[in-house]
């Protein structure tokens, strides 16, 4: 509201200043020439203006020289100064100057707000920065082969537009669905490496929490949220699992397939023992989403240490947690160790010896019979060749 | 092998102009083997992608048969069919051996139970491999055939039990300790791996692919073998049959051409599938 207020004040200020200017010219004077849509300047740029559309725009009440201030008489010089939006929109211009878009070669304002003579308030559906139009506007550059590609930035538009956010926005027209500027801001967009940026790792939970308040609360009270708050940046934030733009549905197998190794990036030993289990063996084949992944047992956002009585993997809660999938799970059933290590004699002695016995059985049986069979083959082939040489039968 | 020919007993009364065929397996035994190898191939083909789910072919294969749910479904289906076949076999042995007191089921030359002669045959065979002694004379079931049988018998109990323990884990948890639920997967996958490696390499070569029988021993498909094969492979049984005068009771019909051809196709397919799975297993195991 504060920003909107300052915009109104600035606009009013401009109106008063230019309305009082002694050489103010009516739009009609300029449009006498410039209403010709084919009119071009010396460089070949179109200088035609659609008077009607301009009148309907947010700046429609302003005279031409409110912006083209250096034109005070007719005929005007061939070369005119570029329009400075900051004359009125000083706050936004200042913010833009510190942002990643500061060095844009094109006119920084019209790149996003569109045709200078047809700018509408952002609440107007005709505006290029109306929520439903924002992705398309940003996508002009942040898409395949766009300006972003030339700067080595990922093509985020296709990922976003196919995400649940993009879907809600483009298909359902949900104004509350997150668009680019919901997370990145508008004029003061900073690199995610800048600690002041809303997309800086430590700030992401708060950024997503603007809408996802309950999950943010859960997360902040979990081990990962506390770690991030304590400056331990290795802990995951929202985007580490959900990604920033593609945001896969957590119930979809694609998400379930890709996210277990993400936990494994830090929890290496747990991931390794998990991979020995049936849960993982089933799960890593894809198309079958029902096996337990990390968060099915440990929780996704409100992750707590095992010792915490609220943790789903606390001993007291195991029957309930395992029972989510295994109907009939009882106290004996939950003694199953989802992270047992058959290679660790101290930790899992029974399992260690079972594995040892099975491996010895496998190795001894196969070794013996391999030698047995190879010797047999050699002997039979030898006899066969000898018999043949003697003109005998095929069989030995 | 001149010594072998010389040791062969007097020939059965000749007179039959054509080659004679003798029954080795009953229809039920042949069907049992067919059910056994088809379900085993199914179990192996669906079990291996689970065991080596990280390998490059596992996901493709799982996707090919309709995702992971489908793989598990077929694995359980094959397991059920094999369990039924196993139970029928056990019931058959029980009826013949215990109820009907049929001779030769639990001991004697026709029994599957190992005896001292098998031990002697094993060492004798090894000596023959190395050229240190004569080739042993085998009875109805040679020692490696008995090993195959008991390996499968033990394997079915072990793999079956551990498989059902995983399938119905909450139920088995009533009488199994907690660590056993972890152990059953290790047992199931290692024993399964042993069975796969053994059948697809050792059994295939010993029984089908070795020079004597190459490319496959048809007797388990057709149930009959020629007199020459019978005498050559199991001279002691042949001798015993002749001596007891029962050899004619074993005379069978030569298998019809369609059955031989059909069996060749089925057998070849089974062997090709098995060898493919063997290669995939070894590639995954050593990568």
What is the total count of domains within chain A? 3
For residue B5, pLDDT over 50 is answered with no
The interface residues of chain B toward chain A in range 222-261, judged by CB-CB distance below 8 A, are 228, 232
Q: Could you give the residue ranges of the DSSP H alpha helices within B18-142?
A: 27-51, 56-64, 67-94, 116-129
Residue A105: per-residue pLDDT = 63
Shared domain for A105 and A182, answered yes or no, is no
Closest C-alpha among B196, B215, B120, B276 to residue A366: B196
Q: Which residue of A has its CA nearest to B58?
A: A285
Q: Cβ of A395 and B232 within 8 Å?
A: yes
Mean pLDDT across A35-42: 84
Q: pLDDT tens digits for A352-394? A: 999 999 999 999 999 999 999 999 999 999 988 888 888 765 5
Q: pLDDT tens digits for A266-288? A: 999 999 999 888 888 887 776 55
Shared domain for A103 and A126, answered yes or no, is no
Q: Would you say residue A234 lies in a domain?
A: no
Percent of chain B with pLDDT over 70: 94
Mean pLDDT across B178-204: 94
Q: Which residue of B has its CA nearest to A388?
A: B1
Residue A65: per-residue pLDDT = 82
A287-308 as b/e: b if 16+ CB within 10 A: bbbebbbbbbbbbbbbbbeeee
DSSP per-residue codes, B208-272:
IISTTTTT--THHHHSEEEHHHHHHH-HHHHHHHHHHT-GGGGEEPPPPHHHHHHHHHHHHHHHH
How far off is chain B from A58, nearest CA to CA, in Å? 56
Shared domain for A53 and A127, answered yes or no, is no
DSSP B23: E
Spatial separation of the C-alpha atoms in residues B148 and B199, rounded to whole Å? 8
What is the predicted ipTM? Answer: 0.88
Spatial separation of the C-alpha atoms in residues A370 and A367, rounded to whole Å? 5
* Token pair 């001149």 in the structure block, residue: B2
For residue A176, pLDDT over 70 is answered with yes
For residue A236, pLDDT over 90 is answered with yes
CA atoms within 13 A on the CB side of A129: 17
Shared domain for A281 and A320, answered yes or no, is yes
Spatial separation of the C-alpha atoms in residues B5 and A297, rounded to whole Å? 70
CA distances from B39 to A336, A366, B34, B44, B85 (A): 30, 22, 8, 8, 10
Q: How confident is the model at residue A8 (pLDDT cuts 50, 70, 90)?
A: low
Q: Would you say residue A204 lies in a domain?
A: no
Residue B4: per-residue pLDDT = 37
Q: Would you say residue A131 lies in a domain?
A: yes
Token pair listed for B56 = 């490059």
Nearest to B170 among A328, A348, A366 (CB): A328
Mean pLDDT across A148-152: 73
* Token pair 């410039």 in the structure block, residue: A34
Q: List CB contacts (< 8 A) between A284 and chain B.
A: 53-54, 58-59
Spatial separation of the C-alpha atoms in residues A337 and A274, rounded to whole Å? 10
Q: Cβ of A285 and B53 within 8 Å?
A: yes
Shared domain for A13 and A103, answered yes or no, is yes
Spatial separation of the C-alpha atoms in residues A366 and B195, rounded to whole Å? 10
The interface residues of chain B toward chain A in range 8-67, judged by CB-CB distance below 8 A, are 49-51, 53-54, 58-59, 62-63, 66-67
Q: Are strands B21-23 and B251-252 parallel, antiparallel or unpaired?
A: antiparallel
Spatial separation of the C-alpha atoms in residues A208 and A242, rounded to whole Å? 11
How far off is chain B from A367, nearest CA to CA, in Å? 10
Q: What is the extent of the structural domain holding A316? A: 248-335
Q: Cβ of B211 and A282 within 8 Å?
A: no
The interface residues of chain A toward chain B in range 275-304, judged by CB-CB distance below 8 A, are 275, 277-278, 280-288, 290
Spatial separation of the C-alpha atoms in residues A286 and A274, rounded to whole Å? 16
Shared domain for A182 and A261, answered yes or no, is no
Hey, CA dihedral for A109, A115, A117, A123, is it positive or negative?
negative
CA distances from A36 to A33, A43, A79, A83, A138 (A): 6, 17, 19, 21, 30
Q: Does A87 touch chain B (CB under 8 A)?
A: no
Shared domain for A60 and A160, answered yes or no, is no
Distance of alpha carbon B173 from its chain centroid, rounded? 33
Shared domain for A83 and A158, answered yes or no, is no
Q: How confident is the model at residue A24 (pLDDT cuts 50, 70, 90)?
A: very low
For residue A35, pLDDT over 90 is answered with no
Shared domain for A50 and A106, answered yes or no, is yes
| Rama region for A185: left / alpha / beta (φ>0; ψ in -120 to 50; rest) | left
Hey, CA dihedral for A80, A82, A83, A84, is it positive or negative?
negative
SS3 A253: helix
Count the Cβ atoms, other than its own, within 10 Å of residue A53. Answer: 13
Q: Would you say residue A215 lies in a domain?
A: no
Spatial CB neighbours of A395, under 8 Å, sequence gap ≥ 6: A384, A387, B212, B228, B232
Q: Cβ of B181 and A335 within 8 Å?
A: yes
CA distances from B68 to A73, A152, B71, B80 (A): 78, 38, 5, 18
Domain termination residue (choose one: A112, A136, A154): A112
Q: Would you say residue A37 lies in a domain?
A: yes
pTM over 0.90: no
Domain termination residue (choose one: A59, A85, A112): A112
Shared domain for A77 and A144, answered yes or no, is no
Count the Cβ atoms, other than its own, within 10 Å of residue B66. Answer: 12
Residue B278: per-residue pLDDT = 95
Q: What is the largest CA-CA distance in chain A?
A: 127
Shared domain for A290 and A253, answered yes or no, is yes
CB B113 within 8 A of CB B106: yes
Shared domain for A14 and A98, answered yes or no, is yes
Helix (H) or strand (E) holding A352: helix A349-389
How far off is chain B from A303, nearest CA to CA, in Å? 25
Domain termination residue (choose one: A302, A320, A335): A335
Q: Would you say residue A201 lies in a domain?
A: no
Percent of chain B with pLDDT over 90: 70
Token pair listed for A296 = 């099915």
């Amino acid at each position: 509201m504060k920003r909107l207020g300052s915009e109104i004040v600035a606009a009013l200020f401009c109106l008063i200043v230019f309305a009082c200017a002694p050489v103010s010219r009516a739009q009609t004077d300029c449009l006498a020439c410039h209403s010709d849509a084919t009119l071009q300047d010396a460089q070949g740029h179109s200088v035609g203006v659609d008077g009607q559309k301009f009148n309907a725009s947010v700046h429609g009440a302003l005279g031409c020289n409110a912006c083209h201030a250096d034109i005070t008489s007719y005929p005007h010089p061939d070369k005119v100064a570029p329009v400075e939006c900051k004359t009125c929109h000083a706050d936004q211009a200042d913010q833009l100057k510190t942002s990643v878009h500061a060095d844009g070669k094109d006119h920084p304002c019209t790149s996003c707000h569109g045709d200078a003579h047809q700018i509408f308030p952002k609440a107007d559906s005709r505006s290029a920065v109306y929520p439903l139009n924002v992705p398309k506007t940003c996508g002009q550059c942040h898409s395949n082969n766009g300006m972003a590609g030339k700067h080595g930035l990922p093509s985020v538009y296709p990922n976003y537009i196919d995400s649940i956010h993009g879907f809600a926005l483009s298909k359902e027209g949900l104004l509350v669905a997150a668009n680019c500027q919901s997370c990145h801001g508008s004029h003061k967009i900073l690199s995610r490496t800048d600690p002041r940026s809303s997309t800086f790792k430590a700030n992401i939970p708060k950024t997503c929490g603007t809408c996802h308040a309950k999950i943010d609360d859960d997360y902040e009270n979990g081990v990962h949220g506390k770690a991030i708050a304590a400056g331990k940046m290795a802990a995951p934030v929202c985007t580490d699992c959900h990604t920033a733009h593609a945001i896969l549905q957590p119930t979809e197998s694609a998400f379930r397939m890709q996210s277990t190794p993400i936990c494994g990036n830090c929890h290496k030993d747990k991931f390794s023992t998990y991979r020995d289990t049936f849960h993982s063996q089933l799960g890593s084949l894809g198309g079958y989403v029902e096996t337990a992944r990390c968060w099915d047992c440990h929780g996704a956002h409100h992750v707590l240490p095992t010792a915490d009585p609220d943790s789903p993997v606390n001993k007291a809660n195991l029957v309930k947690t395992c029972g989510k999938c295994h109907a009939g799970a009882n106290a004996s059933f939950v003694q199953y160790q989802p992270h047992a290590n058959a290679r660790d004699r101290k930790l899992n002695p029974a399992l260690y010896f079972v594995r040892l016995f099975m491996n010895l059985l496998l190795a001894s049986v196969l070794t013996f019979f391999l030698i047995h069979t190879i010797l047999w083959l050699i002997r039979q082939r030898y006899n066969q060749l000898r018999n043949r040489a003697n003109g005998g039968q095929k069989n030995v | 092998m001149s010594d072998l020919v010389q040791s062969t007993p007097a020939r059965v009364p000749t007179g039959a102009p054509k080659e004679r065929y003798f029954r080795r397996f009953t229809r039920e035994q042949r069907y049992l083997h067919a059910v056994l190898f088809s379900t085993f191939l199914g179990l192996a083909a669906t079990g291996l992608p689970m065991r080596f789910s990280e390998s490059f072919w596992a996901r493709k294969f799982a996707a090919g048969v309709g995702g992971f749910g489908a793989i598990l479904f077929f694995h359980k289906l094959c397991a059920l069919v094999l369990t039924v076949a196993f139970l029928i076999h056990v019931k058959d042995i029980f009826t013949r051996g215990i109820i009907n007191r049929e001779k030769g089921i639990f001991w004697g030359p026709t029994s599957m139970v190992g005896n001292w002669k098998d031990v002697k045959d094993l060492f004798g065979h090894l000596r023959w491999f190395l050229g240190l002694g004569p080739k042993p004379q085998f009875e109805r079931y040679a020692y490696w055939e008995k090993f195959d049988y008991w390996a499968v018998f033990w394997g079915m109990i072990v793999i079956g039990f551990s498989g059902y323990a995983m399938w119905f884990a909450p139920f088995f948890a009533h009488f199994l300790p907690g660590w056993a639920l972890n152990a059953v997967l290790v047992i199931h996958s290692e024993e399964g791996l042993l069975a796969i490696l053994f059948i697809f390499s050792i059994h295939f070569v010993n029984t089908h692919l070795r020079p004597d029988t190459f490319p496959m021993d048809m007797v388990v498909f057709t149930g009959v073998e020629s007199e020459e094969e019978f005498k050559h492979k199991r001279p002691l049984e042949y001798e015993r049959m002749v001596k007891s005068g029962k050899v004619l009771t074993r005379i069978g019909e030569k298998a019809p051409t369609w059955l031989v051809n059909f069996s060749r196709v089925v057998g070849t397919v089974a062997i090709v599938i098995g060898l493919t799975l063997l290669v995939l297993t070894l590639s995954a195991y050593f990568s």
